[in-house]
Structure 1
């Protein structure tokens, strides 16, 4: 068995086609699963207690060609490229469409997204669950 085969087998066993950001022991903020793919590269950054951001490297993309949407507990980031009107003499830079989804836990709220210097930053946090007050039931 080659090293590549060993790596591929281990990768399948560990990730089962998915990547999980946080496990329950690490301040479960949202249960995130994303298909394993290499583009776009991203970081998850913790700014303070309960405040996080996903940073995606999107050099060459502009905000008009990137969609950030939350629907039914799924954060979707999608990028499209429109270079049909460009007559390349030589093409050394690769721009491609991409699609990433992250499943959010029920208490996660996406605050904002901003694109600056080729970096898309999606800020989010979570609402602390409120304590459920007891209800007194009168006995008849």
Structure 2
């Protein structure tokens, strides 16, 4: 896979450090465990579903901080009282990070049938939403500014 050098762009841009670090991260091989889906469930709603078979609610930690969603799974080490001939079900610890877009918030999480569902909602502030500006005809409706000249 090719690696792109973004250093010439650093000289002529300001404030795009996060973008370039995200682009650099695309080149790195991401771990494949645990598998996950990202779904769009509505106009402003999303859901991340992760396959976390064998983990309980107590084993999982979800944290949203500064535009990054981090999901960690750590199982307490069990004493092997049985002899396992083949281990096909992974029980190793994991940490997976997701970069969240602006105004995307975690609204809840649930664990059912070995699947962790994390629901996200995009809430755009009123000041950022597009608004319609009324156009008035002619300059006769324009407010007059009166002032006194001394």
With normalisation by structure 2, the TM-score equals 0.63
Closer, same or farther in 2 for the Cα pair 1:83/1:139, shift >3 Å? farther
Equivalence map 1:1-140=2 (5 Å): 9=1, 16-18=24-26, 36-90=30-84, 91-92=86-87, 93-131=89-127
Max Rg structure: 2
- Runs of 4 or more, structure 1, over 6 Å off, are none
- The answer to which structure has the higher strand fraction is 1
Aligned residues: 113
RMSD: 2.9
Worse-matched range after superposition: 103-112 or 45-54: 103-112
Give unpaired runs (5+ residues) of structure 1. Answer: 1-8, 20-33
With normalisation by structure 1, the TM-score equals 0.68
